[in-house]
Structure 1
Amino acid sequence: MSLYHEAAEILSSSSNSSGSLKSRVFGKKNGKAPPGQLYALVLESAKWSLVLKEVIEKTELLKLERKLTPTLALLLVHDLLLAKKGIALPQSHGLRACIERHKGRLSSELTLARLRRKAPTIDALREQVERAAAGEEANYPRWVRVNALKSSVEEQLETTFSKHTRAESIQDIVTKSGRHIYIDPHVPNLLAISAGMEFAKVEAYTSGKIILQDKASCFPAYLLDPRSEDGDVIDACSAPGNKTTHLAAIIHQHRPGFEDAPQTIYAFEKDSRRAQTLEKMVKIAGSKDVTRIGFGQDFLQVDPMAENYKDVGALLLDPSCSGSGIVGRDSMPELHLPDPLADGRGGGKGKPSAANANKKKRSHDEIEQGAQNVLVDDDGNETVVKSEKDLEARLEALSAFQLTLLQHAFRFPRAKKITYSTCSIHSQENERVVIRALASDIAKAKGWRILRREDQVSGMRDWPVRGVVEAAEGDEIVADACIRSYKGGWQRGDGLLCCRVCAGFD
């Protein structure tokens, strides 16, 4: 039962909470429900809430079943009508019984709601719901990385995406109707496809042959480009695991004899719950045999001189940051809750008064203003920012941690390559951290330097958007070595969903 009560708690607080839905679910303390199942239930129920509100009000469910709250009704009706396995409660459970005794009427009202929307099938209605929930993301492609451990681009073009038409440019993906696919020119094994595909039912996705990973998120592992001569690899801040599995795929492609004395990937995640998500993803992607997960292990507590890490030659650092560059698919769809007093014949009690409408508007404005004053990092930690001084203080704290992480990585005796990246728009966490790291005593003692643009892998060398010279304290070489991405960017043909800065050291 905790699944529905935890989901109801998240939905009930969604109107006045900041941060991504994923960070709120996976960062939830003392939760009993599996976070993946909880996340899916909350997200899908919110997507369908406008339709389900109508269904619940037409049946007058909340008048007939007084023990139900609007939020619980929404969640339970969603699973009854739309979840493949139905309501996740025992057959004899009271909440399940009070919903299922109205199943016939609820099903009929869902059919009527579908017909009112001129959707010939439930799948057609599902497409409508997905488009409506997509919001801003509908203007972007869906990025898919083909997992080289299990498949190839050629195989996926012939199978999973056989009905997609090859696009001539990334713009075609979002401007043309129908299903289109585009092979990315910068990152190997990366595809951009038209929005709207339901991956939960796609075999290639459920089996780990393809992985949903935004283009900018692929930059760090691709820039690191670990090869057999680099030895073992560390992913310092690993969950949920996209970059960890990307590293494994790159290693596999560089060394076809993967099973013979393979390189080891050490993946650290200090949050034990997030580490479970990492473990699941590594297993699905087929990289479990070469990945050693440090459950609840803080990378900063790892001894660089320990025997286990004597052969570590490459490290990927994607640490906690302000998350100011994250946009897109993890946003919470607008929530529509059923009215307990709604008249089933008309679906409501008439138009709200002007006073009530103004009250709701003020409440919405207050929530929006509050959200603008809260900085949420990519771990879901919230900091109230009341002034520019508060923002500077928070960014300084984050950048100090990021610098400490980089300096710790410099200490591994056999390390040859390091990539450092954030999903932040702020130079304090990006170019300035790089400059400070290069100026540190450990960097000078070990001979670390920036990986110049001309020495980078071809796709990153050709990437046109570089660091900001002013942020790099006027050092043009460092700025040119840094790789930036910005949301949108159609003039560059990338169509990225998130901002990211990536830099390499060698």
Structure 2
Amino acid sequence: MDFYHRSALILDALDAKKGSVKGLCMSEATKSRKPGEGARFLKVVVEVLKYRPHIQHLLTATKLLAQEPTLFVPPSSTAAAASAIKSGVAASASKALKQPKKYQKQAPTPLNLASVMVHDLMFAKRGLTLPKEHKVRKKLEKYKPALDKENEREKRRRKVPTNEGLQIALPEKVASSLSSIGKGKKREHDADRFAEEAGAGLEAVGEIRWMRVNTLRWSVEQAVEWFEKGGWEMFEDVEEMLAAAQSKPKVFALDAHIEPLLALPASVSLPTMSAYQDGRLLAQDKASCMPAWVLLAPILADAEEALTNGLDVEGEEKKRGKGLRVLDATAAPGNKTTMAAALVAGEPINGKVTACERDQGRFKVLKDMLKRADAKNVQPMNVDFLSLKPDDPKLKNVSHLLVDPSCSGSGIPSRLDHLVPSAPEEEQLSRIRALSNFQIAILSHALRFSGAKRVVYSTCSIWEQEDEGVVMRVLGKKEFREMGWRLAPRDEVLPTWERRGRVEACGGDKDIAESLVRCLPEDGTNGFFVACFVKDEDAEPIPAPPIVTQPAETADVVEADAEDGEAAAPAAANGNKGGKQAKKAKSTVSQAARIAKEEVVGKAPESAPATTKETGANAKKGDKKLSKKQLYLLKKEELKRKKAAADE
């Protein structure tokens, strides 16, 4: 039953908008670290989601949940205890409260647990994976004739000959990718690929599989030589490579924009490549490589020029201290971190990277990635970046920062989001506003670091509110203009990349738009956005950028830092009434920031637990058979459990 419970918990998390299908499956799999479990969760959850509307129809038509209200409730869950109390039988209520807390914190909803089990009963080739004598299986199989009858009736009504016609269809490429997940020993390789790709949106985009040469272990020249010895043909142009891939299985190309990046056909099998298995090649989408490249490419160019001209670059670095210091504000799963580490490692830069990750689970993923990439010049820190003090003497040498905060993920086309019912429009807009406020808070925090000279902000979103909107609101802050912060010009930010920022979202300022980088799936990458801020303390403060008229759906976004809680000027200027509005706005922004910060670790804010008073009232209302003394003892037991949980 454990696998069914955990699969249902993933569905619960999807319903609560706590993450993507793949991300949540990976997160659940990391709890046990069993080989191939992530791939197994993915296949089961996706299959249930494809049949979900139909399964819910079957449950309604057969009245299964109504007739078996406790069948899909774990015996030691809070729901079971509440049901026992409501029954009014003191002995069963007391027994339920004293049960082990195996499912106390994470009990799946009966509907989702029933959906997973009915799926296996009706549509899985293996059937229910429970012993034949298991009481849940025996009870559920009694309903199979009624379920089969309703299933056949629905196929006739919808005029489909097979069960597959009752599913939500998947895009061809996604379906092909899922069907390729192997069994047995091969599953371990597929699970590794699944974990790495699902955690960072690294699936092949369209026809291209992007691979980064890990220059901590290898050089681009060595990689090219290795491919050619293996019978691969190299092309200088990605489009030519794709054309050749129609008739040749082994082709690759050098990327025109990012030096250590290679393009391979999407059909390439990573588990068969030894260079991928040992970490010399890393799967990383091209757009995901852009932030670290934009941040550090000028440093590499300066170092190369200095060496060419015979200048003592190493001596200059020694005068400054310990070499270049880079800080990654939100580092997990670690692809951008390891790329930054590779770019600054060794002579003549001798740089180091500090990598911050707040969530413990994601911090472990980060450390695993650092080990795989052999990134010994990275210091991982299990801390919230916002808790670091910009004037901390230990961080005074940090000059380059990567800021890739939590975002909507709207630029990742293969998240399987179409299988999950969309949130109401207002709910989606509220989430985007909350994320935007948090993004401004974390970017502002980075710009305040005393030694910061170059800060790159990026998202895997295509929404203007999270991209140009954040940039314009930060540029509009007098504090940062007076500090000398401005956008790096186009010639420092992937100058040959054609797709730039949206002019209308930049208040009509073409120069600002040209400084920004945008990616869309039609570019052969995930949807992405990159902005590079540079600091010139000696220059005159730049004028305020043009005011961008907010779209109607975001007009109520408070123009304030989620971190600072600065109220909008109009509200503050209206006397007492304005003060109340400002206070309310500040509260709203603080709440938005809290919600958005929770998103960094893939969690949604939890609702407050019911109070003891409420629990007692509910128990009393439905518990006429319980005496006052029994009610008191139950309340006392509940209070003890809550205190123990709080102490943990």
- TM (norm. structure 2) is 0.52
Aligned-pair distance for 1:157?
A: 2.7
Aligned mates of 1:279, 1:212 — CA distance in 2: 17
Aligned mates of 2:279, 2:232 — CA distance in 1: 20
Q: Is the 8 A contact 2:324 2:398 kept in 1?
A: yes
Aligned mates of 2:187, 2:270 — CA distance in 1: 20
Aligned-pair distance for 1:222?
A: 0.2
Is residue 502 from structure 1 mapped to residue 530 from structure 2 by the alignment?
A: yes
Secondary structure of the residue that 2:257 maps to in structure 1?
coil
Q: Is the 8 A contact 1:425 1:499 kept in 2?
A: yes
Q: Aligned ranges for residues 401-416 of structure 1 at < 5 Å?
A: 401-416=438-453
Pick one of 237, 253, 271 that aligns with 2:330. Answer: 237
Question: Which residue of structure 1 lines up, in the alignment, with residue 351 of structure 2?
Answer: 263
Aligned-pair distance for 1:249?
A: 0.9
Q: Aligned ranges for residues 160-175 of structure 1 at < 5 Å?
A: 160=227, 162-167=230-235, 169-175=237-243
Secondary structure of the residue that 1:415 maps to in structure 2?
coil
Question: Which residue of structure 2 lines up, in the alignment, with residue 308 of structure 1?
Answer: 394
Q: Is the 8 A contact 1:232 1:265 kept in 2?
A: yes
Larger mean Cα displacement after TM superposition, 267-276 or 164-173: 164-173
Q: Is the 8 A contact 2:237 2:255 kept in 1?
A: no
Q: State the identity as a percent.
A: 33
Q: CA RMSD in A?
A: 3.7
Residue type matched to 1:430 in 2? D
More helix as a share of residues = 2
Relative to structure 1, the CA distance from residue 36 to residue 403 in structure 2 (aligned partners, 3 Å threshold; closer, same or farther) is farther
Q: Aligned ranges for residues 342-353 of structure 1 at < 5 Å?
A: none
Cα deviations by residue, 1:273-318 (Å, 9 ceiling, x for unpaired): 001000110111111x3111111x1111101111220100000000
Question: Which residue of structure 1 lines up, in the alignment, with residue 206 of structure 2?
Answer: 139
Pick one of 475, 479, 490 that aligns with 2:509. Answer: 475
Cα deviations by residue, 1:459-493 (Å, 9 ceiling, x for unpaired): x111111000110111211111000010123xxxx
Q: Is the 8 A contact 1:10 1:42 kept in 2?
A: no
Aligned mates of 2:332, 2:490 — CA distance in 1: 28
Residue type matched to 1:481 in 2? S
Residue type matched to 1:256 in 2? E
Is residue 25 from structure 1 mapped to residue 25 from structure 2 by the alignment?
A: yes
Q: Is the 8 A contact 2:212 2:282 kept in 1?
A: yes
Residue type matched to 1:185 in 2? A
Residue type matched to 1:291 in 2? V
Relative to structure 1, the CA distance from residue 46 to residue 311 in structure 2 (aligned partners, 3 Å threshold; closer, same or farther) is same
Pick one of 385, 406, 430 that aligns with 1:320. Answer: 406
Q: Is the 8 A contact 2:22 2:42 kept in 1?
A: no
Aligned mates of 1:17, 1:397 — CA distance in 2: 16
Aligned mates of 1:453, 1:35 — CA distance in 2: 47
Aligned-pair distance for 1:447?
A: 0.8
Aligned mates of 2:36, 2:130 — CA distance in 1: 29
Q: Is the 8 A contact 2:329 2:402 kept in 1?
A: yes
Question: Which residue of structure 1 lines up, in the alignment, with residue 373 of structure 2?
Answer: 285
Question: Which residue of structure 1 lines up, in the alignment, with residue 222 of structure 2?
Answer: 155
Number of residues of Structure 1 aligned to a counterpart in Structure 2: 380
Aligned mates of 2:361, 2:126 — CA distance in 1: 40
Secondary structure of the residue that 1:39 maps to in structure 2?
helix
Residue type matched to 2:207 in 1? Y
Residue type matched to 2:511 in 1? I
Residue type matched to 1:235 in 2? D
Aligned mates of 2:11, 2:518 — CA distance in 1: 37
Question: Which residue of structure 2 lines up, in the alignment, with residue 383 of structure 1?
Answer: none
Structure with the greater relative contact order (CA < 8 A, sep ≥ 6): 1 or 2?
Answer: 1
Question: Which residue of structure 1 lines up, in the alignment, with residue 74 of structure 2?
Answer: none
Cα deviations by residue, 1:400-423 (Å, 9 ceiling, x for unpaired): 111111111111111100000111
Aligned-pair distance for 1:156?
A: 2.1
Name structure 1 gaps, 5 residues minimum: 70-77, 88-122, 124-135, 333-366, 374-385, 490-494
Question: Which residue of structure 2 lines up, in the alignment, with residue 371 of structure 1?
Answer: 421
Aligned mates of 1:14, 1:303 — CA distance in 2: 34
Aligned mates of 2:15, 2:439 — CA distance in 1: 30
Question: Which residue of structure 1 lines up, in the alignment, with residue 106 of structure 2?
Answer: none
Question: Which structure has the larger Rg?
Answer: 2
Residue type matched to 1:20 in 2? S
Question: Which residue of structure 1 lines up, in the alignment, with residue 597 of structure 2?
Answer: none
Aligned mates of 1:231, 1:467 — CA distance in 2: 29
Aligned-pair distance for 1:438?
A: 1.2
Relative to structure 1, the CA distance from residue 44 to residue 173 in structure 2 (aligned partners, 3 Å threshold; closer, same or farther) is farther
Aligned-pair distance for 1:197?
A: 2.6
Q: Aligned ranges for residues 385-400 of structure 1 at < 5 Å?
A: 386-387=424-425, 389-400=426-437
Q: Is the 8 A contact 2:326 2:354 kept in 1?
A: yes
Secondary structure of the residue that 1:182 maps to in structure 2?
strand
Name structure 2 gaps, 5 residues minimum: 51-119, 138-178, 191-202, 304-316, 318-322, 535-648
Larger mean Cα displacement after TM superposition, 162-171 or 426-435: 162-171
